[in-house]
Amino acid sequence: MHDHRKLGRELDLFDTDPLIGAGLPYWLPDGAAIRHALEEYVREKERRAGYRHVYSPVLGKRELYEISGHWSHYSEDMYPPMVLGGEQVVLRPSLCPHHALIYRSRAHSHRELPLRMAELGGMYRAELSGVLGGLTRVRAIQLNDAHIFCTLDQVAAEARGALELIREAYQAMGIEAARYRLSLPGPGGKYVAAPEKWERSVALLTEVLDASGLPYEPAEGEAAFYGPKVDVQVADNAGREFTLSTVQVDFHQPEQFDLRYIGSDGAKHRPVMVHRSIIGSVERAVAHLIEQHGGAFPAWLAPLQVAVLPLTDAEIPEAEDFVRRCVALGLRAESADPSRGSLGARIREARLVPYQAVIGPKEAANGQVALRLRDGSRLGPEPVAAVAERLREQCAAP
């Protein structure tokens, strides 16, 4: 595997600037193209699975996190409050409290449950400067997050559904889970005290994992402060494991925020919150994709999907036409003309691009292009319209 920090710079995907600050990477156009494709994929996948998306601000009053429990259990990882007009405002350490308030802002009937609320939103962690680097230890995080508000009876099915979304996304991204972990509280940690709730959540997640047939290991001391979780672990280039995706069952925050729904009996009941993330943060997900694929991304994620290579200067107009045709179909395509070197040199330069479309004098005269794949295999010349259409299908997100 590759080191994403080194390759990320070599491939012009992301970088940092001391004036912006450590742990605050910016995304260059090629990196932004990968991120955009990934974000669109996740939103579409969630939409089809019955999630509805919201936007919420990255700031909140200190009081919000006192209610959620972050202030007493998690403040070491939070940015210090900013004082604004006599109030203390903090950069949020998670999206959960905002989503709980959005849920609470409207009355809900049992018929609306499970209510699945998703957001690709910013959150912040006050990581120490010594541990910052690349995209895996950052101070500003874009999280693929969702909260499912549901009845106790619905928790297991929702957790199972989330694990299935994770499995499908990993397959689409060409990555693999190293391990599933049932993360439990440990001795002496900062956890909310509610023994019977912990027992119920652990029992629910254990039931889901056992029924899934996935191998997993319990790990003490890895739970969130408000509840246990299933962590999907992946390994980096040095063999170190980190958590990418999670599914959590939470009885704590619904109580803290006094969340309710009206049951079929007409009375008020407390929903359960299932927290889940399919790809985790986009920073970690892209770091892992870089390490896994060494820059040869699956076609739907590749920053450049089609490199168009005219054999000589005479075919430049046809090459530019083909680029326009591909771009109009939503593909990321560019031409590399002979001023950039011999055909062989340009093919080598484009070796990470999933499709290379070569146009020589014969192809130009016949309205054709000849495709070359990343593994070096060559397809015969075919009409431009048919090739462009096939490329559109093959580069579409799964």
Contacting residues toward Zn ion, per CB under 5 A: 96, 275
134: region left, alpha or beta (phi > 0 left; psi from -120 to 50 alpha) = left
Nearest to 135 by CA among 31, 207, 230, 273: 31
Which is nearer to Zn ion, 96 or 230 (by Cβ)?
A: 96
* CB closer to Zn ion out of 228 and 310: 228
Q: How far is the CB of 221 from Zn ion (least distance, A)?
A: 20
CA neighbor of 340 nearest in space, from 310, 317, 305: 310
Cβ distance to Zn ion smaller for residue 96 or 135: 96
Rounded to the nearest whole angstrom, what is the least distance from the CB of residue 253 to Zn ion in the complex?
A: 8
Least Å distance, CB 89 to Zn ion, is 20
Other beta carbons within 10 Å of 153: 9
From the CB of 94, what's the least distance to Zn ion, in Å?
A: 6
Residue 47, Cα to own-chain centre: how many angstroms? 15
Which of 71, 81, 90, 64 has its CA nearest to residue 257? Answer: 64
Minimum CB separation of residue 157 from Zn ion in Å reads 19
Is there a contact between 149 and 34 (Cβ–Cβ < 8 Å)?
no
Least Å distance, CB 9 to Zn ion, is 32
Least distance CB 99 / Zn ion (angstroms):
7
Candidates 352, 346, 398, 396; CA nearest to 373 is: 352
Q: Report how far Cα 186 is from the mean position of its chain's Cα atoms.
A: 28
CB of 103 to Zn ion, least distance (A): 12
Q: Which is nearer to Zn ion, 96 or 369 (CB)?
A: 96
Distances (CA, A) of 352 to 348, 355, 356, 364: 9, 9, 10, 25
Q: Round to whole Å and give the CA distance between 25 and 286.
A: 13
Walk across the sheet containing 87-91 and list its strands: 59-61, 87-91, 82-84
Q: How far is the CB of 204 from Zn ion (least distance, A)?
A: 16
- Residue nearer to Zn ion on the CB measure, 161 or 310: 161
Nearer to Zn ion, 5 or 99 (CB): 99
C-alpha–C-alpha distance, residues 259 and 269, integer Å: 8
For Zn ion, give the closer residue by CB, 181 or 275.
275
The least distance separating Zn ion from the CB of residue 107, rounded to whole angstroms, comes to 22
Cβ nearer to Zn ion, comparing 11 with 224: 224
What is each CA distance from 216 to 42, 161, 165, in whole angstroms?
25, 17, 18
Alpha-carbon torsion angle 19, 25, 30, 33, nearest 10: -130
> Which helix (DSSP H) or strand (DSSP E) does residue 167 occupy?
helix 155-173
Beta carbon nearer to Zn ion, 96 or 259:
96
Pairing of strands 179-184, 216-220: parallel
Q: Between 143 and 307, whose beta carbon lies closer to Zn ion?
A: 143
Our CA angle for 99, 145, 15, nearest 5°, is 125
Give the nearest distance from C-beta 275 to Zn ion in angstroms. Answer: 3
Residue 162 in contact with residue 277, Cβ under 8 Å?
Answer: no
96 or 165, CB closer to Zn ion? 96
